[in-house]
Amino acid sequence: MTNHQDEAEAADHLDWEGPIEVEVIEAEVVEEETLPPLDLDLPDDPVQANAILIAALRQSMAQGAEYLDSWQRSAADFDNLRKRSLRDLQQIRSVAAERVVGSLLPTLDSFQAALELPAETDNEIKLLAGIQATYVQLMDVLTREGLTPIPGVGAPFDPAVHDAVTHLGDGDTLVVVGELRRGYRLADKVIRPALVAVGPASDLATDSTAADDDQDEDSE
């Protein structure tokens, strides 16, 4: 009788209405990283085994330092090679630009000589205007490439950029009093010095005063 009562009470406890909600917890499986076994024959004595392991560690650290040093040297060599290649490329570009621009300097001389010719008729004036426009376009292109004219008349005489073919007097301060052929720089390099006549600065001032007097007389 007692067993039947226990079974009835158990049935009453197990009697439920509706589904039972069960929370499922997913556990992350962590795989243990396995290291390759050491190729060492370790003795049973812990002291001796520790000594062997320490020696092997020191050897590995020394080998790692050697590999790091080799890698750093290779990286430095590659960086030096890259910089040297960039310098060589820049030099090739500079040489090519100098050769092309240098070959155009006689053309600039021809333009300047043509622009100094007097224009009297309408056709000559129109022709001179066309030459002037073409010259300006050409100089604009060459200026963007780094071409700049060397200062001429009125500039202090500088043997580094001026080739003096005529001396019109001596003095403490010599200046350019005449320009026979214009000189040019390409970037910071003189590709053609200017052919000039030099003289004292006082002569240039005298010439300027005389020119102003002539203009005043012409205006009167």
User: Mean pLDDT over all residues of the chain?
Assistant: 80
| Residue at which a domain ends, from 112, 145, 178 | 145
Provide the pairing of β-strand 194-200 with 174-181: antiparallel
Q: Say what the pLDDT of residue 119 is.
A: 87
Beta strands in 34-188 (DSSP E): 147-149, 162-167, 174-181, 184-186
Domain range enclosing 118: 54-145
Domain-embedded: residue 35:
no
CATH code, 208: 2.30.22.10
The Cα 159–Cα 165 span in angstroms is: 11
Domain-embedded: residue 102:
yes
Q: Say what the pLDDT of residue 188 is.
A: 87
Is the model's pLDDT at 23 over the cut of 60? no
Q: Say what the pLDDT of residue 10 is.
A: 47
Both 124 and 188 in one domain: the answer is no
Residues 6+ apart with CB under 8 A from 170: 200
Domain-embedded: residue 43:
no
Q: Say what the pLDDT of residue 51 is.
A: 86
Provide the pairing of β-strand 147-149 with 184-186: antiparallel
pLDDT digits (tens, 9 = 90+) for 133-191: 999 999 999 999 899 999 999 999 999 999 999 888 776 788 999 999 999 999 889 99
Both 105 and 165 in one domain: the answer is no
Both 136 and 180 in one domain: the answer is no
CATH code, 119: 3.90.20
SS3 letters across 192-205:
ECEEEEEEEHHHHH
Both 171 and 138 in one domain: the answer is no
- Tokens 């060459």 belong to residue: 142
Both 133 and 157 in one domain: the answer is no
- Determine contact, residues 192/102, Cβ cutoff 8 Å: yes
- Tokens 């890259």 belong to residue: 82
Q: Which residues pair with 59 in a beta bridge?
A: none
Both 158 and 109 in one domain: the answer is no
pTM of the model: 0.58
The Cα 111–Cα 140 span in angstroms is: 14
| Residue at which a domain ends, from 92, 124, 145 | 145
Going from the C-alpha of 97 to that of each of 38, 89, 119, 176, the distances in angstroms are 64, 12, 35, 29
Nearest Cα neighbor of 150 from 175, 186, 96 is 186
pLDDT digits (tens, 9 = 90+) for 86-125: 999 988 888 888 999 999 999 999 999 999 999 889 999 9
Helix segments in 116-190, DSSP class H:
122-144
The Cα 128–Cα 135 span in angstroms is: 10
Is the model's pLDDT at 198 over the cut of 90? yes
The Cα 105–Cα 184 span in angstroms is: 9
The Cα 194–Cα 197 span in angstroms is: 10
Q: Say what the pLDDT of residue 203 is.
A: 63
The number of domains in the chain is 2
pLDDT digits (tens, 9 = 90+) for 55-88: 888 888 998 998 998 999 999 999 999 999 999 9
Nearest Cα neighbor of 201 from 180, 170, 179 is 170
Q: Say what the pLDDT of residue 14 is.
A: 46
